[in-house]
Structure 1
Amino acid sequence: MKNSDGHWLLRQRTEDVYATEVAEAVVADDRLTLYSAVQHVASRDSTIDSALLTVECSSPAEGVISVRTTHHAGSLPRGPEFALAERPDHAAKTRRDGAVVELSSGSLELRVDTSGPWRLEFSADGRRLTTAEGLGTGFTLVGGERHYSVAQLSLGVGELVYGLGERFTPFTRNGQTVEVWQADGGTATDQAYKNVPFYLTNRGYGVFVNHPGQVRYEVGSQDVGQVRFSVADQSLEYLVIHGPTPKEILDRYTALTGRPALPPAWSFGLWLSTSFTTDYDEATVTRFVRGMAERDIPLGVFHFDCFWMKAYQWCDFTWDPDVFPDPEGMLGRLREQGLRISVWINPYIGQKSPLFAEAMRAGYLVRRPNGDVWQWDMWQAGMGLVDFTNPDAREWFAGKLRALTDQGVDAFKTDFGERVPTDVVWHDGSDPERMHNYYTQLYNQVVFDVLAEARGADEAVLFARCATAGGQQFPVHWGGDCDSTFSAMAESLRGGLSLGLSGFGFWSHDIGGFQNTPHRAVFKRWVQFGLLSSHSRLHGAGTYRVPWDYGDEAVEVTRDFTRLKHRLMPYLYRAAQQAAAHGTPMMRAMVLEFPDDPACGTLDRQYMLGGDLLVAPVFSEDGTVEYYLPAGTWTHLLTGRQVEGPGWRRERYGFESLPLFARPGSVVPFGDRDDSPVYDWADGVTLRVHAPADGETVVTHVPGRWDDGAGDFDTHRVGDTVTVRARNAPGSWRAVLAGPDGYGAPVAAVDGVVTLTLPR
């Protein structure tokens, strides 16, 4: 909340009250409690007619320190709350040295000098991270009534801020005002579908505001050297999370808020949608599926968007009999072709739906304070909203989905869930303002749990649009409604990279763009980008996204990059495992992999796919692209061409290619099949070795689809000789070395060893 008028004045009708000094410090074994006066206490008279802030400092996990500031403590508990996985076996340490009190958690330390002006100083390994001083702890009264708890943390010179969810505005948050408030605003505004009150910086720490409702941020926009955040509450808690690397920050953050589930292998294949408002029936679906097969484009998932149900009746979870008279038979025929099935749903019940009256009678819809069902006509005529705080409503909704999984549905696209009213009463008494953002968590969890129950925990996958902190547990998420232009493609990428830096491991987008019909060049370039993303879906609004509608070359590009993604599955699935284990996203902003390279701090038109592949999508009709390579010898994965970094390059690419480079020293496993993402990845694998460093060993793990199918390989260079040795391998395998003239000939393993010679 921006309440200043320049540096010296406040906006009218605002009153700011801030911690000034420590009146008393209570030191326990594992926590500090600071009682802060809001004015200098010169005598006992100064303690009268004045506020006193209670600041509780503790540690829920190693490397994490929590600061909770409370003004008036008499408010009743108001849900919902984020579920944080605290470590009961972890214990922070405290120390008092004269007037100085300290709380330490791992290498992270909070230091407070109680004899001086108010100042909380966070440091790690002897280096200061950030401070809260001056205007850093307090509250603001607006109009004499509205109460906001406020905190402010300093930014150092050159410090860059990232995250706060999937945001499509400039990649670094510095200079921006950000409202963490769910909105259905497309990808071309400052609104966001996925709002997460967590940011990290390039100085080795992150900050999570533990409040599920609206959080307002001024990121260097009220005071250019501060991040200020506020909530409309009597209390505010934030957690400082130490890294020092960005990956370690995400590891600790997702350990608290939840790790991403590991999506099933089949979900990494190509998804094809009916699109949004297009006309379609079983004949259309059959034509699309047959058309992909005839053009030799492997298809993994077919998605039915909203008009699988009858108009005005969303959601009734019933196939429109006029266009799908035999849904069970149709789904069976699709599954016989090896396809998985996804269908679109949302948490709204239109008044014409037979389920509206049923849900209203049972009390399953959100109500207004007078007891009426909350309704409006935006989206669906007279629609109501399912009250997921009601356990019976959750079970009722889940039952409708179980009927679909019984028919053969494998995944649900959980659309909408952002426009949640605040003038309502929830079944469990939750605060409407806090529930507005949190609703998505309940919605997606209900649907995810149904799939886990029906298909098994390792088979559950969503295609979700809305999320908040913790939502990363229910992948996959996609970027929402974008236009079909190069600009929209770039803003989508910014949003995905921002979401990855907010703890989300898996992300997708509408290939070709959603609104309008893409130019053929846009479609082909978006296909490349989409098939070098975590998950890949062809989807649009009023026109189809089948490749042949965009020309023969579009068919070739779709075929080639789909098959490339399938061959990369041994590499991609390992990156997916890392996301599930540590919260490191599959699509990684350059700063995540190269935090010590200053040039990578602001890059948002390229990314690392996993730890070893650099992707720079082409955002121009003529194929011109600018990209940056960090230090070392990089190898173009499609041609074997080697390029030296660091430095910027400006090149032109045809539609058969784009900047796709293997990292210096990397060993990238290529699978033996390209017709499906699901096969025994280790059997027949080819290890591509790129510019290995002399004297170093690279360990490559190739995951297996079955418990005994994994392979582990050591690649070691001594002088001109590179030796690749299998520690275990379930079948045949090969290795190939990149050199100045491209990739050499693959060499088959003999007795579990391949020896390669560097060209002179």
Structure 2
Amino acid sequence: MELYVDVPMRDGGTVRIEPVSRNIFRIRHGADFRFPEASLVKYGVVRSDWPRPEFACEDRDGIVSIRTEHAQLKVNKGDGRIAFLDEQGRMLLEETQRQAGANAGFAAEFALADDEKLYGLGDESRHLLQKRGHRAKMWVKNVDCYAPIPFLYSSKGWGMFLNTTWRHFFDLGYQKPDRWKMFAKRGELDYYLIAGADYGELLDRYTDITGKPELLPLWAYGLTFVCNQQANAREMLDDAMHFRREGIPCDLIGLEPGWMERHYDYSVDKKWHPDRFYIPGWADKGPQTFIGGLERLGFKLSLWLCSDYDITYQEEKLAGQKRTAAEPEAPVNGDYNADDFEQDLRAHAPVYMDRLTKRDEPWFRHLTAFVDQGVKAFKMDGARQVNEHPDRKWGNGMDDEELHNAYPVLLNKQMYEGFREHTGLRPMIYTSSGYAGIQRYAATWAGDTGGGPKPLISMLNHGMIGHAHASCDMDVFTPEGIHFGFLQPWSQVNSWAYWRHPWLLGDKLLPIFKYYAKLRYRLLPYIYSAAHTAARTAMPIIRSMPLAYPDDPASDRLMQQYLLGESLLVAAFTNQVHLPEGTWIDYWSGRHYTGPADIVAEVPDDRGGPLFVKAGAIIPIWPEIDYVGQKLLDAIGLHVYPHGSSEFTLYEDDGETFRYRNGEIALTRITCAADDNEIRICIGAREGQYEGMPGQRSFDLQIHTDSEPADVRLDDHKLRPGAEWHYTEGSIRLRVEEETGKRGPRCIRCSLRA
């Protein structure tokens, strides 16, 4: 079966159409029938191993139509313009103007419907979520544009991924209100069109192209603390001890560039600072090192890095391509010339401008020594990832204009794959910058921009392109900053040059910090289950209101609130909250509200912002711990907020390896059905298993209801009030033990008083 259809145009050039799935078409414009592969495909960031769908092709009246089971693409043979339709023949997207030619860049313009909304583009703007009327410059730049992602999608059911690394632009109804346009001065027009019934389907299918978010190690969803940059090994260990003495849970301790012998060492010859972080050469690994001390306290260690390394040599090697360096390799003995009487090779051998890169050494190789000593994570600074290199010719032959956008994703790809291959464990690589595909390789933080409302918008925009692990530096000096900082996909306190240590916050802020840190760790099974959902579907851990409630007319303006998972609504830096349709419960007071409604939330003095629970929520809760893995979690809590019919699936695995990819996961499905007379909760038997799974599990149920039950039954056995269940402070409490060998659910039935 043919993999593509080439459509020659009467005005010159060719349009190549590749149906890569039943819902996705790839469209390329070329000056002839030669289509060199795009770098993101060649380097494995964009998928190439598609199970090609069946499709039909028809050529009639100057229009070539390619139809799959779920979508159709029409190409005008005269000028190459396309029309994209769904399976019912409904027009999704129609091109109005096109310009594409050899070495002339490209421009493609499309019609916008009157009520059409546009979303996507990643962290390229921090002042809006709905992008219609916006003009975007897609170029990685420090602070201004950390992670532009050329994926755009519409309320009309289409998505578009532009497969380019060149500097390019989107005009989304800015110049012409009824048109949107993508254009670049260099590069070829190469893009994917996606059909989907809703935003969730479009995200899922976009990440079929660029990859699903991978799970972080379970401990990475806890708290990361980055020490003051002048800290030495003893002071770092003192910080770790302070966390334990204060009872503040924390898992990852990070070091800034002061850990290196040479400050801001970009090379592959970096070493520990001989005074601050002395490790004797005769015992450079093991329990006697400061890393061993951290491990015994339950901490992992993270190191700060920056890179100006030419990672394209390794990408070319991985792609099986011949090296395309701008200059030839230096000859071993020099070129012989009879007239070169003196043969002074020292002064006349080839000179390479890049004195940093070792062409046959992958970037990650020099880091394996630190990993072998116990380093578990790396913080990739924006330094050199976000910098322009105007006169640099990269080893693969590219100018910086072509590689600049791709550099962050390729660097973090090599970090991710290097750690995975060396250890067999999930990496925790986190970076401030990125491009298409970054969701596969790294977590991100919002750069050196603090922890306020603008970083929140950046995180929401990251989520809207399927990137699940976005965060920002926590503002620990306000209750609002602490509230927001702990209710994120992952949480980080970055001291850097400052003193953001929790125990230095004073009498008011320290208890608030402790409370939220413990709340976060109790919520880890809920957050980790949301991370599993993201790894399967690309639905992010924190979800903007347009993504979660696209039919609510207020959603687009709501940039200071979001859903954490499916059931927790968080507002940050404001007490004005829009509650979508449904019933919502104030987490602090227990008060019920009916949406849609705009309210002014009442926040207690010892809390930092509004937090609401969606009625029907089922939220698994861990007991208090100091760090992930401290003890076997054979008993966990379940907070249930009965309302109609609802369900939740608890995902568990070993938390460190990639065995979850092979199905080594335990799933527990929990359902709840409630009416005025009865609450019925069923806890399914665990399905599947993983190494280290508790042999026996019990659940401490807390069923939130204003009605005291007349009786409570477990599997039709009536429980004794006061002994086997009790009702207090608006909730029914009881413990349910998993029955060994039983495959069916354990069901709790609460009959309510009239």
1:451 and 2:419 correspond: yes
Q: How does 1:578-589 map to 2 (within 5 A)?
A: 578-589=533-544
Cα separation, 2, equivalents of 1:726 and 1:682? 17
Cα separation, 2, equivalents of 1:686 and 1:374? 60
Alignment-derived partner of residue 357 in structure 1: none
Alignment-derived partner of residue 747 in structure 2: 753
Cα separation, 1, equivalents of 2:38 and 2:15? 20
Asked whether the 8 Å contact 1:635–1:662 carries over to 2, the reply is yes
Alignment-derived partner of residue 494 in structure 1: 457
Alignment-derived partner of residue 701 in structure 1: 650
SS at match of 2:132: coil
Q: Deviations over 1:533-589 (max 9, x none)?
A: 111110144212112333222221221111111111221111111111121211111
1:68 and 2:28 correspond: yes
Q: Deviations over 1:507-529 (max 9, x none)?
A: 111112xxxxx7x32xx322221
1:553 and 2:508 correspond: yes
Cα separation, 1, equivalents of 2:79 and 2:327? 51
Cα separation, 1, equivalents of 2:579 and 2:325? 52
Cα separation, 2, equivalents of 1:754 and 1:740? 17
Shift in CA distance, 77/255, structure 1 to aligned 2, threshold 3 Å: closer
Q: Quick one: which amino acid aligns to residue 443 of structure 1? A: L
Q: Deviations over 1:97-117 (max 9, x none)?
A: 666543233422224577999
Alignment-derived partner of residue 447 in structure 2: 480
Shift in CA distance, 451/117, structure 1 to aligned 2, threshold 3 Å: closer
Shift in CA distance, 667/757, structure 1 to aligned 2, threshold 3 Å: farther
Between stretches 527-536 and 669-678, larger displacement belongs to 669-678
Alignment-derived partner of residue 5 in structure 1: none
Alignment-derived partner of residue 565 in structure 1: 520
Instruction: Give the number of aligned pairs.
Output: 661
Alignment-derived partner of residue 25 in structure 1: none
1:535 and 2:535 correspond: no
Asked whether the 8 Å contact 1:80–1:435 carries over to 2, the reply is no
Shift in CA distance, 127/659, structure 1 to aligned 2, threshold 3 Å: farther
SS at match of 2:215: coil
Question: Could you list the runs of 5+ residues in structure 2 that have no partner in the other structure?
Answer: 311-322, 329-348, 656-663, 687-695, 708-728, 740-745
1:30 Cα deviation from its structure 2 partner? 6.7
1:642 and 2:592 correspond: yes
Alignment-derived partner of residue 270 in structure 2: 317
Q: Quick one: which amino acid aligns to residue 130 of structure 1? A: L
Q: How does 1:433-444 map to 2 (within 5 A)?
A: 433-444=401-412
Alignment-derived partner of residue 304 in structure 1: 255
Alignment-derived partner of residue 429 in structure 2: 462
Alignment-derived partner of residue 405 in structure 1: 371
Shift in CA distance, 616/644, structure 1 to aligned 2, threshold 3 Å: same
Q: Quick one: which amino acid aligns to residue 549 of structure 1? A: L
Alignment-derived partner of residue 545 in structure 2: 590
Question: Under a length normalisation based on structure 2, what TM-score does the superposition of the two structures give?
Answer: 0.81
Alignment-derived partner of residue 107 in structure 1: 70
1:332 Cα deviation from its structure 2 partner? 1.1
SS at match of 2:290: helix
Cα separation, 1, equivalents of 2:115 and 2:350? 54
Asked whether the 8 Å contact 1:635–1:738 carries over to 2, the reply is no
Q: Deviations over 1:227-263 (max 9, x none)?
A: 2111334630121112221111111111111112111
Shift in CA distance, 116/319, structure 1 to aligned 2, threshold 3 Å: closer
Q: How does 1:343-354 map to 2 (within 5 A)?
A: 343-348=303-308
SS at match of 1:728: coil
1:154 and 2:111 correspond: yes
Shift in CA distance, 686/715, structure 1 to aligned 2, threshold 3 Å: same
Alignment-derived partner of residue 738 in structure 1: 704
Between stretches 720-729 and 574-583, larger displacement belongs to 720-729
Q: Quick one: which amino acid aligns to residue 463 of structure 1? A: Y
Q: Quick one: which amino acid aligns to residue 747 of structure 2? A: V
1:260 and 2:213 correspond: yes
Alignment-derived partner of residue 581 in structure 2: 631
1:726 and 2:683 correspond: yes
Q: How does 1:166-181 map to 2 (within 5 A)?
A: 166-167=123-124, 168-181=126-139
Cα separation, 1, equivalents of 2:567 and 2:630? 22
SS at match of 1:52: coil
Which residue of the other structure, out of 529, 532, 538, is the alignment partner of 1:574? 529
1:665 Cα deviation from its structure 2 partner? 2.2
Shift in CA distance, 740/206, structure 1 to aligned 2, threshold 3 Å: farther
Cα separation, 1, equivalents of 2:589 and 2:632? 23
Q: Quick one: which amino acid aligns to residue 721 of structure 1? A: E
Q: Quick one: which amino acid aligns to residue 325 of structure 1? A: Y
Which residue of the other structure, out of 141, 144, 164, is the alignment partner of 2:121? 164
Q: Quick one: which amino acid aligns to residue 199 of structure 2? A: P
Q: Deviations over 1:105-149 (max 9, x none)?
A: 34222245779995624345443222102x2x21489xxxx7221
Asked whether the 8 Å contact 1:367–1:374 carries over to 2, the reply is no
Shift in CA distance, 563/174, structure 1 to aligned 2, threshold 3 Å: same
Q: Deviations over 1:481-525 (max 9, x none)?
A: 104xxxx6110011111111122121111112xxxxx7x32xx32
1:76 Cα deviation from its structure 2 partner? 6.8
Q: Quick one: which amino acid aligns to residue 107 of structure 2? A: V
Q: Quick one: which amino acid aligns to residue 636 of structure 1? A: D
SS at match of 1:585: coil
Shift in CA distance, 333/675, structure 1 to aligned 2, threshold 3 Å: closer
Asked whether the 8 Å contact 1:164–1:502 carries over to 2, the reply is yes
Asked whether the 8 Å contact 1:112–1:121 carries over to 2, the reply is no
Cα separation, 2, equivalents of 1:551 and 1:442? 43
SS at match of 2:95: strand
Which residue of the other structure, out of 250, 256, 269, is the alignment partner of 2:203? 250
Alignment-derived partner of residue 337 in structure 2: none
Question: Under a length normalisation based on structure 1, what TM-score does the superposition of the two structures give?
Answer: 0.80
| Percent of paired sites with the same residue | 24
1:430 and 2:431 correspond: no
Shift in CA distance, 127/222, structure 1 to aligned 2, threshold 3 Å: same
Shift in CA distance, 112/345, structure 1 to aligned 2, threshold 3 Å: closer
Asked whether the 8 Å contact 2:107–2:182 carries over to 1, the reply is yes
1:289 Cα deviation from its structure 2 partner? 1.8
Between stretches 678-687 and 625-634, larger displacement belongs to 678-687
Cα separation, 2, equivalents of 1:758 and 1:490? 44
1:205 Cα deviation from its structure 2 partner? 2.0
Between stretches 636-645 and 254-263, larger displacement belongs to 636-645
Q: Quick one: which amino acid aligns to residue 684 of structure 1? A: A
Q: Quick one: which amino acid aligns to residue 403 of structure 2? A: M
Cα separation, 2, equivalents of 1:556 and 1:138? 61
Query: What value does the CA root-mean-square deviation take over the aligned residues?
Result: 3.1
Shift in CA distance, 365/313, structure 1 to aligned 2, threshold 3 Å: farther
Question: Could you list the runs of 5+ residues in structure 1 that have no partner in the other structure?
Answer: 1-27, 38-50, 351-363, 376-383, 513-517
Q: Quick one: which amino acid aligns to residue 298 of structure 1? A: P
Asked whether the 8 Å contact 1:85–1:257 carries over to 2, the reply is no
Shift in CA distance, 174/336, structure 1 to aligned 2, threshold 3 Å: same
1:84 Cα deviation from its structure 2 partner? 1.8
Asked whether the 8 Å contact 1:274–1:305 carries over to 2, the reply is yes
Shift in CA distance, 77/738, structure 1 to aligned 2, threshold 3 Å: closer
Alignment-derived partner of residue 6 in structure 1: none
Shift in CA distance, 677/633, structure 1 to aligned 2, threshold 3 Å: farther
Asked whether the 8 Å contact 2:262–2:270 carries over to 1, the reply is no
Between stretches 82-91 and 290-299, larger displacement belongs to 82-91
1:305 Cα deviation from its structure 2 partner? 0.9
Alignment-derived partner of residue 52 in structure 1: 12
Alignment-derived partner of residue 676 in structure 1: 627
Asked whether the 8 Å contact 2:481–2:608 carries over to 1, the reply is no
Which residue of the other structure, out of 31, 55, 64, is the alignment partner of 1:92? 55
Asked whether the 8 Å contact 1:525–1:655 carries over to 2, the reply is no
1:272 and 2:266 correspond: no
